[in-house]
Amino acid sequence: MKKIIFASIVLLSAQSLNALYTINDRYLVGFSLGYSMPKGGTWAKQYKEAMSFSLNVEKPRNEEHAVGIEIGYDFGHKHKIITNCRPRILYISPYFKEIKNFKNVDLFASLGVGLYHRWTPAYTDNFTGVKYSTSWSGKLGANFAFGAVYAVGNNFSLSGGLKLHYIRHFIGTPAITSATNLTPFLMIQKRFE
């Protein structure tokens, strides 16, 4: 409860950025933490949630638009039945971001397309005893995010939002299935002029 109260005070006392991006900004660098939740289809039926983090760099184009690149990692989606199977996700995704000021808050939306890599360390099926070797798979994916941005000091901003990742033909035996993850996140960014 104390964490919720503290977070509410920080978000409510933070000043809105009238112009998140200024003409003097060279770039912004950010770090985010999230909780990646499989949604829909076979992927969601077979795999559990995982912590995630990402690093990003943005280049403002004007006061409302930026382009950027993000590198992210999901720490391992544990299989619901096969206890040793934990595929990890590593992705790199260029994106376009738009920010709009609505009275006391700046809202943002971003859209990206990138490469998503599934890495599954070697494991033994706890039911059949079959041993599987480490596997890699690179797939095309897309992401969409939206949320709110608050100023925290002169050169820092704090964002909270929700990101949707869609990875085409991601995983599966015998049939390949796509993966959709919904990830609530918190991000802090530093502005460099």
CATH number of the CATH domain containing 109: 2.40.160.20
Question: Above 80 in pLDDT, residue 60?
Answer: yes
Mean pLDDT of all residues belonging to the chain: 83
The DSSP code sequence of 90-141 is EEEEEEEEEEEEETTEEEEEEEEEEEEEEEE--EE-TTT--EE--EEEEEEE
Q: Per-residue confidence at 172, pLDDT binned at 50, 70, 90?
A: low
Domain count, the chain: 1
Report the alpha-carbon distance of residue 168 to residue 171 in Å, rounded: 9
The mean per-residue pLDDT over the stretch 149-167 comes to 90
Q: Per-residue confidence at 168, pLDDT binned at 50, 70, 90?
A: confident
pLDDT at 15: 40
Strand blocks (E) in the chain: 27-38, 50-60, 65-74, 88-102, 105-120, 123-124, 131-132, 135-151, 156-171, 177-192
Report the alpha-carbon distance of residue 72 to residue 56 in Å, rounded: 9
The pLDDT tens digits of the residues spanning 85-117 come to 888 899 999 999 999 988 777 899 999 999 999
The pLDDT tens digits of the residues spanning 123-140 come to 888 878 788 887 778 889
Q: Which domain holds residue 187?
A: 2-192
pTM value is 0.81
Q: Per-residue confidence at 10, pLDDT binned at 50, 70, 90?
A: very low
The mean per-residue pLDDT over the stretch 57-81 comes to 91
